[in-house]
Chain A
Amino acid sequence: MKRVLVAVSGFLLSEFLDRVLSQLTWTDVELDLLHVVDTRPLREFGLAARSLPGRSGQTAERLRQMGALGAEAGQRMLEEAEAFAAPRLPAGTTIRRLQRTGVPEHEIIATAYEIDASLIALGAAEDPAGPLSSPPGRQGPGPKPHETAKRPSSPPPDGSPKFQRRHFSPTLRFVVDHAPCDVLLLLASDHRNADEQ
């Protein structure tokens, strides 16, 4: 039985899941939905508040509230993701909801090892300089919703050997660099500049 680890963070959740589900064959596969409560913003707040004398009591309470808020938002996303995926998968497919706390890229890799994942699926942003499917100078509307952006199969029409470069977030780069299995990277094709999902 193969296990597919899908990392979700909410943005464009249904589009992302729809594309993950449509691109894989779901026989003898289990789906693990993972959300990571990113602790870096909380630590940043903790560090800043720690520099203010006499505020430790309030800081601890605020940190507790923020952590609970992040976990609650993550649980909602996982519930939405499961509700979206369940009817689209073959009956009886096991779906697990996992929530971790820490640095997202570290937790994704750690979880992939832990569950012995066969595949990690992630959403990625378009390059802020423009989608790869739109060479410089191209006019007209972008790809339709749910349509996968495709890397140009040949150099731009003018023949110049220029290829646009994509700027993936540190999270994506880390996962791709350290993954113990295949990684499915989905581009937010119709959402130019959208960040990773």
Chain B
Amino acid sequence: MVFLAVMALVIARPRGLNEAWPAVGGAAALLALGLLSFGDLVAVWRETAGVLIFLAGMMVVSTVLELAGVFTWAASYAAKASGGSGRRLLVNVFLLGALVTALLSLDVTVIILTPIVYATVVALRIDPLPYLYACTFVANTGSLIFPMSNLTNLLVVNRLDLPFWRFTFSMALPDIVSVGVNIAIFLWLFRDRLPGRLPREAPASLAPDLPPRPFFRSATVVLALVLAGLFVSGLAEWPLWPVALAGAVVLVLVARMTGIDVAHAIVQGVSWPLFLFVWGMATVVQGIEHAGLTQDLARLVLSGPGGPVGSLAVTGGIAAFGANLFNNIPMTLVMLIVLAAGAPSRVGGLAAATLIGVNIGSALTTVGSLATILWLSLVRRQGVEVPVLEYLRVSIITVPLVLATALAVLALEGGFR
């Protein structure tokens, strides 16, 4: 009941209520009901602290990179490298989005890169819709490859103690093929909307006033060092959060040395409630585990229905369904409890299928809620315009195809190697 009440509030967000408060409230309710002890709350904090500190560090890094004009430069470069072709520009936006998602996370692609791509295509005076869809879809399809590409990946890697390189080795091919299939589908879906040719000369606004060059250069160098540090730490199986934190501190110092005030931007750019949400949801999910509510799901997933390939498909399908029914983060946490009960030799493959399900599958309804969609469908019958249904026209074709392809590639790889 507590879990369902929390999820109902997270989805409905009455009066704009931030998702963090129902999650924290749910944790408090479970504590009051005696389903969790204070020690459980602390244990969840200890377990998620590394992930949350890493997230905070990378949010600061991304915010400073945005101030340094790195994303604007990249989007402008993508436009120029399109050679005047609208179709090639769509491919470039996909590739840029895949790169940003892979290295900095899907949040950065959605929250920072998408508005910049919008500004770029508006400056080019072309229809921005296909390019915005490209950004928001590649944020999901391209978020399988590295642990830092998606919060769900971090949670899985952290909880199941999966090595960075092993994760990347197994997820790289499904990620690359997914992005490729997504590009092909979009080139077909938006064939009537994509301009064959872009204006010969981009308007002046395509080359906006960038911050001072030293700041841009320094920020780019620090980014390269942070990424190198993350990969080295990952290969050495060291925790990632110290690198992210150090990168954030160095970038803030670099900004201050070049006379750029980043304090306000950081306060605005870091999603503080997300930390409470993740901790609160992890605690609530712990509570439903204590209540034994995940046992049936665990039996279904771990019984290996349909052999190795079938169980990957079932796991991916359940994860995708749950991510759309609730939200991908709570669903990942639920699936982690289920997988933690499985044999170590099988857990890797099922974890990969889970991530494919929650990362790609959640794009089907975008708001992560079938309930919302159903409600909006009812509203539409009463004559209210529903933008979500426009989105569904794209997602209902794209997501199942990309999801099935990614799971098929994972199965061909033989699961998690």
Interface residues of A (CB under 8 A from B): 9-13, 38, 40-41, 43-45, 47-59, 61-62, 65-66, 69-70, 73, 77, 125-126, 128, 167-170, 191-195
Contacts and interface: CB of A to CB of B under 8 A. Distances in A.
Contacts of B274: 53-55
B217 interface: no
Contact of B195 (A43, A125, A168): A125
A134 to B, nearest CB: 14
Contact of A47 (B111, B196, B275, B388): B388
Contact of B192 (A55, A61, A167): A167
Contact of A168 (B13, B115, B192, B327): B192
Contact of B327 (A53, A59, A61): A53
The list of the 9 closest CB pairs from A to B, nearest first, reads: A193-B196, A10-B125, A54-B274, A195-B195, A48-B136, A54-B273, A43-B387, A41-B132, A53-B19
Contacts of B387: 40, 43-44, 47
A195 B87 CA distance: 11
Given A44-B391, A125-B196, A51 B125 contact: no
A133 B10 CA distance: 56
Contact of B191 (A10, A44, A167): A167
A120 B299 CA distance: 63
Given A11-B195, A45-B118, A54 B368 contact: no
A192 B367 contact: no
Nearest to B198: A11
B125 A54 contact: no
B272 interface: yes
A41 B129 contact: yes
A49 B113 CA distance: 12
B132 A192 contact: no
A170 B136 CA distance: 22
A45 B115 contact: yes
A54 B19 contact: yes
Given A45-B115, A47-B387, A169-B192, A53 B110 contact: no
A56 B16 contact: yes
A107 to B, nearest CB: 13
Nearest to A49: B110
A44 to B, nearest CB: 5
Contacts of B115: 45, 62, 65-66
B255 interface: no
A51 B277 contact: no
Contacts of B86: 193, 195
Given A53-B277, A193-B196, A195-B127, A59 B111 contact: yes
A55 B151 CA distance: 14
B199 interface: yes
Residue picked from A38, A40, A195, most chain B C-beta under 10 Å: A195
A119 to B, nearest CB: 24
Given A59-B111, A195-B126, 19 more contacts: A9-B127, A40-B387, A44-B136, A45-B132, A45-B136, A47-B367, A48-B135, A49-B110, A51-B328, A51-B367, A53-B273, A54-B20, A56-B18, A65-B115, A69-B118, A125-B195, A128-B196, A194-B196, A195-B193
